[in-house]
């Protein structure tokens, strides 16, 4: 019976085959890999053959995707360079180091007698791939894995600098930026780097090369970012497609670089409905020991059950969880919580016991939370997270941004407010309404569903 079904599905897919290949080259970071794998799956289900070229750093487990063809290329990173602590330095290096290996790989691929390659789909961060694609006369589609609002804020960095908002001054942080409401100076998407010029140059190369691309895909949806999508269309003047949230089509768990601890789900199974605050700051954010202690006491003092992801590397150079947690914390929480290294996040957010998500406002986390109708507490660390959290708080009104940084008093108040059904009623209603909009937009006739089809028509026409 099962074999019959598999056979039927394969036959259906065969009948859809378009005889064209899409080539992807993901940026090797968790928040970028997940949407690329999801995007590749979407297009595979529509009849394209898929090739993924990936780096040695954070390389993918090819055995998980038997339908895709993979090519591994050297990234030239030295041992001490393999670190996400200064992410712009890492990305700038990769943009240089990968140029030749990718050229050689594409050259071989294009000489192959197999299906013709329709286009190269690469992250906007891979700015070097535009010239490379041009040199092969191959259309390049830029893929932006974060929100459209943050993309526009990055695009505006040179203006922010010209207007004197950058570098940020402590006395100016709360000042509003009238040129980009509702941002305040502190929300401008800065990325800390030992070489701040590096950040500007990376962003400006990224924007310039995106303008030269044959199209731009966003992992977002019109109902959330309509205005921003229109603005991008006006500024970039290339075909633009909002086709997210991509994890609605395919889950992120298969592309997790770390093993997801499923005992988190068993623990949640024993909790009351909507009673648990889920706490996770994604795959790159780092904090110091003082901040970790504030987080811990904020959670403890809220008196709520909690599921907390303390990823190895969350506190740099730390020697294990036992030494990280402040003295007296475990006694204070008295079995009220559960801590894991890495969680099956999508499943956690979909679990009936979860009532709220305290997040760093990474874009995948934000979308995953909205999709499950879970309201957020937002603690941005850097980059797009700063913009996402401001929009979650002020525009979409589905989250509470912690304005004081990581301070136990504000954390405790925010958790209590969000977990109180009456106090958080409006936020919950709004996030539920976005959840419904998402369910509609990925269905036949919905905005994202239609954008997928428009993209396919477009790519087959050029
Ligand atoms: N994630 C996960 N387990 C965790 C924490 C995160 O599987 O314990 C996944 C999460 O579902 C999301 C991704 O890691 O798909 C994080 O991406 P995001 O854009 O939110 O943040 P980043 O890690 O890029 O800062």
Provide the 8-state DSSP code for 164.
T
Please tell me the least confidently modeled range out of 7-16, 166-175, 189-198: 7-16
Helix axis angle for 87-97 and 196-211, nearest 10°, is 50
pTM to 2 decimal places: 0.95
Check residue 13 and give its pLDDT.
62
Is 364 touching ligand 1 by the criterion CB < 6 Å? yes
Is 369 touching ligand 1 by the criterion CB < 6 Å? no
Fold matches, 2-249+444-461 and 257-437: yes
Q: pLDDT category, 5, cuts 50, 70, 90? A: low
Over residues 347-363, the mean pLDDT reads 98
Check residue 12 and give its pLDDT.
66
Ligand 1 nearest-atom number relative to CA 340 = 8
Question: Phi/psi of residue 413, each to 5°?
Answer: -65, -45
Over residues 145-152, the mean pLDDT reads 98
Question: Phi/psi of residue 134, each to 5°?
Answer: -60, -40
Q: pLDDT category, 81, cuts 50, 70, 90? A: confident
Instruction: Name the CATH superfamily for 257-437.
Output: Glycogen Phosphorylase B; (3.40.50.2000)
The CATH architecture to which 2-249+444-461 belongs is 3-Layer(aba) Sandwich (3.40)
Q: Tell me if the bond preceding 412 is cis, omega within 30° of 0.
A: no
Q: Where are the domains of the chain?
A: 2-249+444-461, 257-437
As a whole number of angstroms, the distance between CA 185 and CA 170 comes to 10
As a whole number of angstroms, the distance between CA 155 and CA 204 comes to 8
Q: pLDDT category, 1, cuts 50, 70, 90? A: very low
Strand ranges of the sheet holding 337-340, from the earlier edge strand across to the other edge: 337-340, 306-309, 276-280, 354-359, 376-378, 399-401
As a whole number of angstroms, the distance between CA 146 and CA 246 comes to 12
Q: Would you say 54 and 70 are in contact if contact means Cβ atoms under 8 Å apart?
A: yes
Over residues 288-293, the mean pLDDT reads 96
- How far away, in angstroms, is 315 Cα from ligand 1 center? 17
Please tell me the least confidently modeled range out of 70-74, 84-88, 363-367: 84-88
pLDDT in tens, 415-459: 999 999 899 999 999 999 999 999 999 999 999 999 999 999 999
Residue 290 pLDDT > 70: yes
Q: What is the mean pLDDT of the chain?
A: 94
Ligand 1: residue whose CA is nearest its atom 25: 282
pLDDT in tens, 251-272: 777 789 999 999 999 999 999 9
Ligand 1 nearest-atom number relative to CA 362 = 20
- Picking from 282, 302, 273, the residue whose alpha carbon sits closest to that of residue 368 is 282
Is 31 touching ligand 1 by the criterion CB < 6 Å? yes
- How far away, in angstroms, is 368 Cα from ligand 1 center? 9
Ligand 1: residue whose CA is nearest its atom 1: 345
Ligand 1 nearest-atom number relative to CA 341 = 8
Over residues 24-31, the mean pLDDT reads 96
Residue 340 pLDDT > 90: yes
Among 33, 283, 339, 348, which residue has the most ligand 1 atoms within 8 Å of its CB, making it the best to mutate? 283
- How far away, in angstroms, is 329 Cα from ligand 1 center? 26
Is 130 touching ligand 1 by the criterion CB < 6 Å? no
As a whole number of angstroms, the distance between CA 35 and CA 32 comes to 6
Q: Tell me if the bond preceding 37 is cis, omega within 30° of 0.
A: no
pLDDT in tens, 103-144: 999 999 999 988 999 999 999 999 999 999 999 999 999 999
Is 36 touching ligand 1 by the criterion CB < 6 Å? no
Check residue 130 and give its pLDDT.
98
- How far away, in angstroms, is 364 Cα from ligand 1 center? 6
Q: pLDDT category, 11, cuts 50, 70, 90? A: low
- How far away, in angstroms, is 34 Cα from ligand 1 center? 9
């Amino acid at each position: 019976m099962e074999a019959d079904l598999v056979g039927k599905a394969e036959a259906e897919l065969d009948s859809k085959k378009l005889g064209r290949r899409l080539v992807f080259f993901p940026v090797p970071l968790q928040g970028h890999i997940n949407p690329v794998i999801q995007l590749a799956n979407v297009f595979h289900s529509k009849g394209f053959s898929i090739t993924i070229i990936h780096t040695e750093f954070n390389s993918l487990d090819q055995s998980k995707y038997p339908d895709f063809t993979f090519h591994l290329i050297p990234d030239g990173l030295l041992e001490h360079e393999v670190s996400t602590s200064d992410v712009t330095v890492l990305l700038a290096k990769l943009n240089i180091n990968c140029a030749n290996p990718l050229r050689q790989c594409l050259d071989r691929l294009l000489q192959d007698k197999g299906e013709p390659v329709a286009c190269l789909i690469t992250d906007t961060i891979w700015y070097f791939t535009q010239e490379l694609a041009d040199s092969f006369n191959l259309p390049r589609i830029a893929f932006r894995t974060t929100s459209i609002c943050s993309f526009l804020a990055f695009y505006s960095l040179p203006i922010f600098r010209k207007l004197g908002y950058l570098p940020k001054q402590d006395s100016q942080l709360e000042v509003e930026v009238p040129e980009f409401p509702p941002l305040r100076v502190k929300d401008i998407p800065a990325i800390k780097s030992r070489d701040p010029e590096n950040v500007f140059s990376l962003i400006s190369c990224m924007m310039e090369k995106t303008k030269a691309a044959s199209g731009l895909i966003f992992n977002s949806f019109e109902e959330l970012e309509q205005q921003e999508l229109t603005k991008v269309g006006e500024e970039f003047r290339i075909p633009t497609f909002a086709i997210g949230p991509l994890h609605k089509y395919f889950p992120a768990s298969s592309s997790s670089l770390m093993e997801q601890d499923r005992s988190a789900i068993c623990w949640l199974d024993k909790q009351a409905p909507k009673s648990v605050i889920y706490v996770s700051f994604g795959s790159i954010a780092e904090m110091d020991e003082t901040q970790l202690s504030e987080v811990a006491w904020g959670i403890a003092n809220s008196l709520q059950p909690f599921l907390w992801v303390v990823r190895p590397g969350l506190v740099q150079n730390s020697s294990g969880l036992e030494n990280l947690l402040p003295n007296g914390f475990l006694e204070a929480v008295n079995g009220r919580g559960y801590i894991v290294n890495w969680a099956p996040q999508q499943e956690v957010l979909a679990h009936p016991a979860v009532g709220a998500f305290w997040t760093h406002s990474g874009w995948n986390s934000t979308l995953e939370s909205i999709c499950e109708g879970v309201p957020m507490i937002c603690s941005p660390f850097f980059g797009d997270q700063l913009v996402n959290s401001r929009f979650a708080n002020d525009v979409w009104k589905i989250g509470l941004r912690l304005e004081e940084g990581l301070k136990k008093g504000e954390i405790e108040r925010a958790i209590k407010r969000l977990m109180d059904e009456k106090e958080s009623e409006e936020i919950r209603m709004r996030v539920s309404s976005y959840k419904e909009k998402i369910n509609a937009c990925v269905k036949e006739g919905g905005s994202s569903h239609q954008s997928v089809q428009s993209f396919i028509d477009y790519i087959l026409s050029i």
